[in-house]
Amino acid sequence: MLIKSTSLEEFNKWLTHHEDAHLEFKKAAIQFDKDKDLPDYCAALANEGGGKLILGVTDERIVVGTKAFAGKYNRLSNELLDKLGIRVDVEEFYHPQGRVLIFHVPSRPTGNVIKSSGRHTYPMRAGESLVEMDTGTLKRMLNETQPDFTAEMVPGLSLDDLSPSAIQRLNDKWAKKSQRADYLDFDAEKTLRNLGLRTENGITYAGLLLVGKPEAINKHLSDAEIIFEWRNNPKQIHHDFRKNWRDPFVEVDDEIWKTINHRNIRMPFQEGFFQREIWAFDEKSIREAVHNAVMHRDYTFKSRSIFIKASPEAFTIESPGGLPPGITLENILYERAWRNRNIAEAFEKIGFAERSGQGLDDIFEQAIRDGKGLPDLTKSTKDTVRLSIPAQIKDKDFILYLERIINERQVLLSFEEIYELEKIREFQKIEKPEFRDKFINLGIIEPIGKGRGTKYILSSRYYETIGQSGKHTRLKGLNRNQIKELIVNHISEGKPAHRNDFITGFSECSPQDISNILQELRKTGRIFFKGARKSGQWFLTK
């Protein structure tokens, strides 16, 4: 719902303005393309800082009215939210000369570019036309930085508002990470200044978060709270245990881990004469996830806290605010970015973070090496980053299989390679072809099919290791000669023999593969084709 409706006086003022990057008029007397033009123009306006798209007005600023989206305009805001990820308010305005639709388009967030689902990927204005955004402009927008909230000064905060025990712990962490025993004797003033948490203008919000007394945090940043809930059954609504922290983070960091670890589950398994063990909650991964949430959450979001939900099946942490500028679900494992650089750099100096950035690759790699499968970020939204780390072992044999390959061939596998192999194990498409030949040469994977339709699965050795050779046979599918014999048998039984019937029946083959097989059978004189190209059928040669 719009906060304020447009007045006739305001609208008439718009009619006196020239079209520019913030104002777009379209006649659209009868209709307007909802799937192509609408998302493109809204995305372009958002990318230029926001503005108005007005339907029912000609280029000469004459109101002619529009019938576009009559009776359906109130659905457009939700549809555009799904397509663009921004809320565009849609107003039906009745001018004396006719019905007009006004799309109130907000500006893109700093450091983000709005991607369209229309004809363009990242549209922008060029004169009176829409064009694809050039790489220079795109890079400039993505490299923008948002103001660092944690570097701002807390009004009225003094050293008396800080916890002496938290400051001493800060010194301990800093001295240990830097291997400098003299840091232990620094007073609060010197410690805070050297860590960038205090300037001549005051103490930063990062300082408040790290060492502020609970009452000071409650007064100045009450949303900086971490809530933990445990459920014995992840599907139940009520929690079995709940605890929340609104304290200096350096003092509760260990307590948060101890609270989670108290419910940890040891999962031993046998490997020959040796017994190994994997824990449901890996300490390094859990600490990394909590540190990331504290470092990268958006502290301007009110009435939202960091929320941890754990069960025997998974550890899930929700952080208010979307992904940092320039970070997407596609590049999050490889790109580095800051939302709150002041606290991120302090974390790095005291050893809470190995490096300033995302650090999620360590979490993903450990989950894969533990045989738990891939952590999940797909339930994140523009307002929340939601990371779920599996707690149960899905495939311990995959761990042993990789270790045998590594030991036998004396090779090292990078995180990117292990990540790619995990996706292959989950029957996902291989995204980095440069790894494909290495995996094949090592005997880790093997191809199914030929040409563009080629897919890849773990090799027969893996399935032999886990005692499921039959599954490998099913995945590998029929060979070319077996498919030919089944096609001939099908035709000989007098069943309909359209090309599409075979494409459906042999879904592991591409349509081109089926066409090639049919032509091979025709050339050897076993079958022939009769009828129109699209509707004809194949018959057995007598």
The reported pLDDT for the residue numbered 356 is: 47
Same domain, 228 and 187: yes
Q: pLDDT at residue 55 above 90?
A: yes
Number of Cβ within 10 Å of residue 510's Cβ equals 18
Domain boundary among 325, 355, 390: 390
Q: pLDDT at residue 3 above 70?
A: no
- What phi, psi does 172 have (nearest 5°)? -60, -45
Same domain, 400 and 373: no
- Domain-located, residue 148: no
Look up the CATH number of the domain holding residue 173: 3.30.565.60
Task: Average the pLDDT over each of 8-12, 87-91, 124-128, 238-242 and give the range with the smallest value.
Answer: 124-128
Same domain, 94 and 135: yes
Same domain, 236 and 369: yes
Same domain, 95 and 219: no
Rounded Cα–Cα distance for residues 274 and 402 (Å): 17
Give residue 130's domain range. Answer: 8-142
Residue scoring higher pLDDT (368 or 18): 368
- Domain-located, residue 213: yes
The DSSP secondary-structure symbol of 7 reads: P
Same domain, 115 and 34: yes
- Cα dihedral 62, 64, 68, 72 in deg (nearest 10): 100
Task: Average the pLDDT over each of 9-13, 185-189, 430-434 and give the range with the smallest value.
Answer: 430-434
The DSSP secondary-structure symbol of 371 reads: T
Look up the CATH number of the domain holding residue 82: 3.30.950.30
Mean pLDDT of 526-540: 87
Domain boundary among 362, 390, 418: 390
The domain tally of the chain equals 4
Residue scoring higher pLDDT (385 or 435): 385
- What phi, psi does 369 have (nearest 5°)? -65, -25
- Domain-located, residue 532: yes
* Torsion sign over Cα 491, 495, 497, 500: negative
- What phi, psi does 281 have (nearest 5°)? -115, 110
Rounded Cα–Cα distance for residues 310 and 279 (Å): 14
- Return the axis-axis angle of helices 283-296 and 249-261, rounded to nearest 10°: 140
* Torsion sign over Cα 264, 307, 253, 174: positive
Q: Please, is 401 exposed, middle or buried when counting C-beta atoms within 10 Å of its C-beta (0-12, 13-18, 19+)?
A: buried
Domain boundary among 142, 169, 204: 142
Same domain, 463 and 432: yes
- Domain-located, residue 489: yes
Same domain, 384 and 403: no
Q: pLDDT at residue 446 above 50?
A: yes
Q: pLDDT at residue 450 above 70?
A: no
Query: pLDDT by residue (tens digit) across 277-310?
Result: 889 999 999 999 999 999 999 998 888 899 999 9
Same domain, 316 and 454: no
Q: pLDDT at residue 2 above 60?
A: no
Rounded Cα–Cα distance for residues 128 and 201 (Å): 48
Q: pLDDT at residue 1 above 70?
A: no
The reported pLDDT for the residue numbered 173 is: 95
Nearest to 29 by CA among 101, 90, 93: 101
Residue 18: band (very low, low, confident or very high) from pLDDT cuts 50, 70, 90: confident
Residue scoring higher pLDDT (451 or 339): 339
Contact 424, 436 (CB under 8 A): no
Q: What is the mean pLDDT of the chain?
A: 87
- Domain-located, residue 147: no
Query: pLDDT by residue (tens digit) across 324-366?
Result: 777 788 788 877 777 898 999 999 999 987 654 457 888 998 9
- Domain-located, residue 1: no
Nearest to 41 by CA among 2, 94, 96, 80: 80
Same domain, 302 and 210: yes
The reported pLDDT for the residue numbered 277 is: 82
The reported pLDDT for the residue numbered 271 is: 57
- Residue type at 383? D
Look up the CATH number of the domain holding residue 456: 1.10.10
Q: For residue 440, what are the CA distances in angstroms to 100, 443, 444, 464?
A: 61, 5, 6, 17
- Domain-located, residue 512: yes
Same domain, 130 and 176: no
Same domain, 255 and 134: no
Residue 97: band (very low, low, confident or very high) from pLDDT cuts 50, 70, 90: very high
Number of Cβ within 10 Å of residue 165's Cβ equals 13
Percent of the chain topping pLDDT 90 = 51
Residue 460: band (very low, low, confident or very high) from pLDDT cuts 50, 70, 90: confident
- Domain-located, residue 366: yes
Task: Average the pLDDT over each of 141-155, 386-400, 461-475 and give the range with the smallest value.
Answer: 461-475
Query: pLDDT by residue (tens digit) across 162-205?
Result: 999 999 999 999 999 999 999 999 999 999 999 999 999 999 99
Q: pLDDT at residue 459 above 90?
A: no
